Amino acid sequence: MRYSLCSYSLHNTVDAGQMDLFGYFRFCKEAGFTQLDPWNKHLAAAYDDDHFLEAVKVAAAESGLPMGCIAVDGAHIYEPTSEGRALNRTRRYRWLEIAAALGAEQLRIDAGGHDESFDEIFDVVVEGYQEIVALAQPLGVEIIIENHWGPSNHPDAIQRLLAAVPGLGLLFDSYNWPKGTHEQAWRECAPYARLTHFKTFRFDEQGNEPDWDLPRLIGMLQRAGYKGAWGIESTPIEGDEIGAARKSLALLKRVLGDD
């Protein structure tokens, strides 16, 4: 089985100067994760610095772990102005170049939108995803959307987008569905999952587990034929992010019978 930890899980640790991207690589290897899933903020220096990008490539190779998904913020497809959309398009192109250079399997791009309805942004979002998917496929990079923020995170919207954009995959976040839609989302969207972000941020310093039914969700994904990495985005509100990541991995392995 494959396991991953989105580096966003350690963002407070990184912000405090206690870890950097290369430390994240070493931690993933030491803790038992099997692929690297960096957040683009932690890769930001690579955007304008090819020497840093090469250093990242070398460090990733030295870790022995493949590059899984780069989760990109700030390159979402919909913006209300043509200038904003053009700027984000340029950013998507560059992050796709970086993903290809690092041999990443997947690139997470958000749909965007804030106050707009999903119908208002749908055509622009579909066109944007179709373009970036077409550019990514020859490079061996899968573009995935996450139920992350904005009007596209509803299960109905996710399914409508996936139907409209062949080749677009789903980063299935266990928690980020609108209130009252989790049951529908788990049932209807599990078959589309290509990667997961299991939210385990309710872990406290005593190691108490989340109060939602992780075993049932994992069972739903397994019955739906899920074959991707069992990915974690552990985000404790406060406390030990490194400890929470370790406990989250142990929990996943225990539920999967892989401990």
**Residue 202, pLDDT score:** 55
Give 225-259 pLDDT, tens digit per residue: 999 999 999 777 667 899 989 989 998 999 999 87
**Residue 208, pLDDT score:** 47
Write the Ramachandran bin of 82: left for phi over 0, alpha for psi from -120 to 50, otherwise beta.
alpha
pTM for this one?
Answer: 0.94
State the Cα–Cα distance between residues 109 and 81, nearest whole angstrom.
18
**pLDDT for residue 206 is more than 60:** no
Sheet of 69-71, strand order: 69-71, 106-108, 142-146, 169-173, 193-197
Q: Across the strands, what pairs with 78?
A: 112
User: 108 near 71, Cβ under 8 Å?
Assistant: yes
State the Cα–Cα distance between residues 258 and 251, nearest whole angstrom.
10
State the Cα–Cα distance between residues 186 and 184, nearest whole angstrom.
6
**What mean pLDDT value characterizes the chain?**
93
State the Cα–Cα distance between residues 185 and 154, nearest whole angstrom.
8
Per the structure, the complete domain to which residue 15 belongs is given by: 3-256
- Band of residue 213 on the pLDDT scale cut at 50, 70, 90: confident
Give 164-191 pLDDT, tens digit per residue: 999 999 999 998 888 889 899 999 999 9
State the Cα–Cα distance between residues 210 and 99, nearest whole angstrom.
33
**Residue 207, pLDDT score:** 47
**Residue 60, pLDDT score:** 97
State the Cα–Cα distance between residues 203 and 233, nearest whole angstrom.
12
- Band of residue 211 on the pLDDT scale cut at 50, 70, 90: very low
Q: Hey, what are 124's tokens?
A: 């622009």
Give 115-163 pLDDT, tens digit per residue: 899 999 999 999 999 999 999 999 999 999 999 988 999 999 999 999 9
Written in H, E and C, the secondary structure of 208-234 is CCCCCCHHHHHHHHHHCCCCCCEEECC
State the Cα–Cα distance between residues 169 and 251, nearest whole angstrom.
26
CATH of the domain at 121: 3.20.20.150
User: 258 near 244, Cβ under 8 Å?
Assistant: no
**Residue 199, pLDDT score:** 84
Q: Which residue is associated with the tokens 């340029």? A: 90
**pLDDT for residue 205 is more than 80:** no
Give 80-128 pLDDT, tens digit per residue: 999 999 999 999 999 999 999 999 999 999 999 988 999 999 999 999 9
Give 50-100 as a DSSP string: HHHHHHHHHHHHHHT--B-EEE--S--SB-SSHHHHHHHHHHHHHHHHHHH
Stretch among 67-71, 109-113, 200-204, 216-220 having the lowest mean pLDDT: 200-204
**Residue 209, pLDDT score:** 47
Averaged pLDDT, 198-225 = 73
- What is the tally of structural domains in the chain? 1
